[in-house]
Amino acid sequence: MKKIISKSNLRFFLIPVLFLIIFVRCDEDEIPFPYVSVYANLSLNTQLGNVLAGNYVIVDGYGVGGLIIYRADINVFLAFDRACTHEASGTCILTDDGSMFECPCCGSRFWMVSNDIAGTVYQGPARYPLKQYKCTFDGVNTVRVTN
């Protein structure tokens, strides 16, 4: 004999499931990285022109915490925001620690040694790599950083 499920029993099952789907998130402890419009034209006539492949320079005044411009190759640049992705504020600005950057607020550390792993998390609590911006080089004198 088949048992028929009544509509009221079905509601008791579906309402809690719907509630869980709508209101429960797994990453509640992660603060989203704030959106800031970035448009920078950086000239190689500045300290950026002296940066060799595999090295980087810090440029203040853009993004949430300034920019880290990493030179991957003679004509390839990568741009990262200098704010920690765990704290995500203008007060937690990463400090240069040789081949890594460290957050003074939470202690997270980020690699800055090669273009394959530049900006990735070395040590948490940060779970996300540094915010990366689009970076283009005109092949002559200007590096353009945008979001």
The pLDDT value recorded for residue 139 is 83
What pLDDT score was predicted for residue 114? 80
Q: What per-residue confidence (pLDDT) applies to 87?
A: 78
pLDDT computed for residue 106 by the predictor: 92
**Model pLDDT, residue 32:** 79
According to the model, what pLDDT value does residue 67 have? 93
Q: What is the pLDDT of residue 38?
A: 92
- Kindly list the domain boundaries of the chain, sorted by start residue: 39-146
Beta strands per DSSP E along the chain? 39-43, 56-59, 67-73, 76-81, 95-96, 100-102, 109-111, 121-123, 132-137, 142-146
Please state which CATH number belongs to domain 39-146. Answer: 2.102.10.10
- Give the model's pLDDT for residue 18: 45
Per-residue pLDDT tens digits for 9-43? 656 555 655 444 555 544 455 557 888 889 999 99
What pLDDT, on a 0 to 100 scale, did the predictor assign at position 102? 94
Residues of the chain with pLDDT under 50: 18-20, 25-27
